[in-house]
């Protein structure tokens, strides 16, 4: 069997924040991809603003580097399970993976998740123990943990013989020994060439190209990114597109791009083993195969993980609608959601009975909140409802998504965390006490029990706890109350501006969410009540001037710092009768029914209906 020794296709996989993107940066830099005078930002592969701000990778990225006479195509993948759909499909495009593991943290939930996907595809792994320069790094123990994980996930004998490279991506060094680092990453390049199999060279056979990722460009429309599995593809060639639904469309390849460094370069021809981007097909989808018209032979369709969480997106109808956004109408919002479907295959958008509302389903809270954040930055105004898990019927039984949760907490907080997870119907799988004062707890918890849990968790552990979770499976629904917010809220009874005097009058009732001077409207949520019921308050009250002098007049009134919530915190905080209003400048929480007496009427009706 003939191989293309001039090429290697690899993916970099890891838990979030274990240093994948930094490692890719360094591989690009040391391979001489950038000019000496070229200004390259850190985490060059994270091109989108939100990726840069949060330090996470959301979309898989392709790049290519030249080392000696070999071209190494690298795919940088997301670490969050919410973007796991990207990881799964990428495994079909590559022959090997670099599994990056933090030298201190060791194997984490997403390490397990991404490695499972790689082993299922029978891909050759190289383990990179990164951040070797960290204080308390424990490389030997981490390699043992990785080996245990490989065995647990059913790796075959060849996969268990994985090579290990010890690296510090931030310093641009690597070596085969945990004790001493070489000056550069030479050993990592050499390990890739030595251990990762070269693709089969079957360029003489009929073409097979499969799309694994989508991109979109206003000039050329949809772009399919994938691998040539067989044969040769040329610009101008007439080909057949084997659709997922079984139909066949013919089209002409108008443009092809190869990946080199951070740029896409136009190419005229691609052969078996190449990773390329192709334009010219209007409705190409992930998993579809391109082949010659006279030799139609489709590859197996790629499986895409189903969404597990849904929210209702609505047109903003609050009293402040239209003040801060550019795009407000249902037509504009629907256009934007449909455009997102062009590239995001894990997303679903379904119409409802109302022309002003859509049910948007995704892989998790982060997946949907990133979409909302992008929309508000682009000038959209909208409202969203509380996130809800998607319930499925399996063999006549109602089932819900269950997450595998890994928690690292100081020893003294263990009891409180176990109790809080127990209240959310969590089932404990393992408890590991490392003897360093830190305890690792592993649970299976219904996904709805984790909605809104982060804030409670941080309070319980005083910010010292680390929680990670990833989708495990669908299981029969847990009975009774699972999770949800226990506290009621403070709802404004007036419209106007919040005043220091007004806030001081209600401070002892709970935690305030707004600063003095913030414009508020009737029905807007302005704080959290200390008890379980909602109450209406007036924080727009102004102190009336009188001619009575106060003895303590010169003392300055000081109010507590308000709790300002991020978009994710706001979404997690919502109850069934509330919306989150999102505009380019503000994030507000509000009741669905703004009028107090109307709200009480609706609540009474609901109570009678339940009886």
Residues tagged in the binding site annotation for GTP: 17-22, 130-133
Task: Report angle CA 46, 50, 56 to the nearest 5 degrees.
Answer: 55
DSSP H or E stretch at residue 290:
strand 289-292
Task: Report angle CA 605, 607, 611 to the nearest 5 degrees.
Answer: 115
| d(C-alpha 570, C-alpha 488), whole Å | 14
Residue tagged 């795919």 (tokens): 75
Per-residue tokens: 33: 């991809």
Q: What are phi and psi of 273, to 5 degrees?
A: 100, -20
DSSP H or E stretch at residue 209:
strand 208-217
Specify the 3-state DSSP secondary structure of 171.
coil
From the annotation, which residues make up the binding site? 17-22, 130-133
- Are 228 and 206 in contact by the 8 Å Cβ rule? The answer is no
Under 8 Å CB-to-CB from 366, ≥6 apart: which residues? 80, 82, 568
| d(C-alpha 194, C-alpha 467), whole Å | 37
Residues facing residue 440 across a β-bridge: 408, 432
The DSSP annotation for 309-337 comes to EEEEEEE--STTTTSS-SB-SHHHHHHHH
Residue 380 exposed, middle or buried by CB count within 10 Å (0-12, 13-18, 19+): buried
Residue tagged 């455009």 (tokens): 339
Pairing of strands 496-497, 466-476: unpaired
| d(C-alpha 598, C-alpha 23), whole Å | 57
484-518 exposure pattern, b = at least 16 Cβ within 10 A, e = fewer: ebebbbbbbbeebebbbbbbbebeebbbbbbebeb
DSSP H or E stretch at residue 582:
strand 578-582
Task: Pick the closest to residue 452 from 580, 574, 310 (CA basis).
Answer: 574
Residues facing residue 143 across a β-bridge: none
| d(C-alpha 120, C-alpha 84), whole Å | 14
Under 8 Å CB-to-CB from 276, ≥6 apart: which residues? 209, 225, 226, 227, 228, 233, 256, 257, 258, 259, 267, 270
- Give, as one character, the DSSP assignment of residue 300: P
Per-residue tokens: 372: 């909302």
């Amino acid at each position: 069997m003939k191989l293309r020794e001039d090429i290697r296709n690899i993916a970099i996989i890891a838990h979030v924040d274990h240093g994948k993107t930094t490692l890719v940066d360094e591989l690009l830099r040391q391979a001489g991809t950038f000019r000496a005078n070229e200004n390259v930002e850190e985490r060059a592969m994270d091109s989108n603003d939100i990726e840069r701000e949060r330090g996470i990778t959301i979309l898989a990225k392709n790049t290519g580097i030249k080392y000696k006479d070999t071209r190494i195509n690298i795919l940088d993948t997301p670490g969050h399970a919410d973007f796991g759909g990207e990881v799964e499909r990428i495994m079909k495009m590559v022959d090997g993976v670099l599994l990056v593991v933090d030298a201190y943290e060791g194997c984490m939930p997403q390490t397990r998740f991404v490695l499972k996907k790689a082993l299922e595809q029978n891909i050759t792994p190289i383990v990179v123990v990164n951040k070797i320069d960290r204080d308390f790094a424990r490389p030997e123990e981490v390699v043992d943990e990785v080996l245990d994980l490989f065995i647990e996930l059913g790796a075959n004998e060849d996969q268990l013989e994985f090579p290990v490279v010890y690296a510090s991506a931030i310093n641009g060094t690597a070596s085969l020994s945990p004790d001493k680092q070489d000056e550069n990453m030479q050993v990592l390049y050499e390990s890739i060439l030595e251990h990762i199999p070269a693709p089969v060279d079957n360029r003489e056979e009929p073409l097979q190209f499969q799309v694994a990722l989508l991109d979109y460009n206003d000039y050329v429309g949809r772009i399919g990114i994938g691998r040539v599995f067989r044969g040769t593809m040329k610009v101008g060639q007439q080909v057949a597109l084997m659709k997922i639904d079984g139909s066949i469309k013919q089209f002409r390849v108008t443009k092809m791009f190869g990946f080199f460094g951070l740029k896409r370069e136009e190419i005229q021809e691609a052969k078996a083993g190449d990773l390329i981007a192709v334009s010219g097909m209007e409705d190409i989808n992930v998993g579809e195969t391109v082949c010659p018209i006279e030799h139609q032979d489709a590859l197996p369709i790629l499986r895409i993980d189903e969404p597990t969480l849904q929210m209702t997106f609505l047109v903003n109808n609050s009293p402040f609608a239209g003040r801060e956004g550019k795009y407000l109408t249902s037509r504009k919002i629907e256009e934007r959601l449909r455009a997102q479907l062009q590239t995001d295959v894990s997303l679903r958008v379904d119409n409802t009975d109302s022309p002003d509302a859509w049910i948007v389903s995704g892989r998790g809270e982060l997946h949907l909140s990133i979409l909302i954040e992008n929309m508000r930055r682009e000038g959209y105004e909208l409202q969203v409802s509380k996130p809800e898990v998607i319930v499925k019927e399996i063999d006549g039984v109602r089932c819900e998504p269950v997450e595998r949760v890994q928690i690292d907490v100081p020893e003294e907080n263990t009891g409180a965390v176990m109790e809080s997870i127990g209240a959310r119907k969590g089932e404990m799988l393992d408890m590991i006490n490392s003897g360093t004062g830190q305890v690792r707890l592993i649970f299976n918890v219904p996904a709805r029990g984790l909605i809104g849990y982060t804030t409670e968790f941080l309070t319980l552990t005083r910010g010292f706890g680390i929680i990670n979770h990833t989708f495990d499976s669908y299981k029969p629904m847990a009975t009774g109350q699972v999770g949800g917010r226990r506290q009621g809220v403070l709802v404004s009874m007036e419209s106007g501006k919040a005043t220091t005097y007004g806030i001081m009058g209600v401070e002892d009732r709970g935690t305030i969410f707004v600063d003095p001077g913030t414009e508020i409207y009737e029905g807007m949520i302005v704080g959290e009540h200390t008890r379980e019921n909602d109450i209406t308050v007036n924080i727009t009250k102004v102190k009336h001037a009188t001619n009575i002098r106060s003895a303590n007049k010169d003392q300055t009134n000081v109010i507590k710092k308000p709790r300002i919530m991020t978009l994710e915190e706001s979404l997690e905080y919502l109850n069934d009768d509330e919306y989150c209003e999102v505009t380019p400048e503000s994030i507000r929480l509000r009741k669905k029914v703004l009028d107090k007496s109307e709200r009480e009427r609706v609540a009474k009706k609901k109570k009678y209906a339940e009886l």
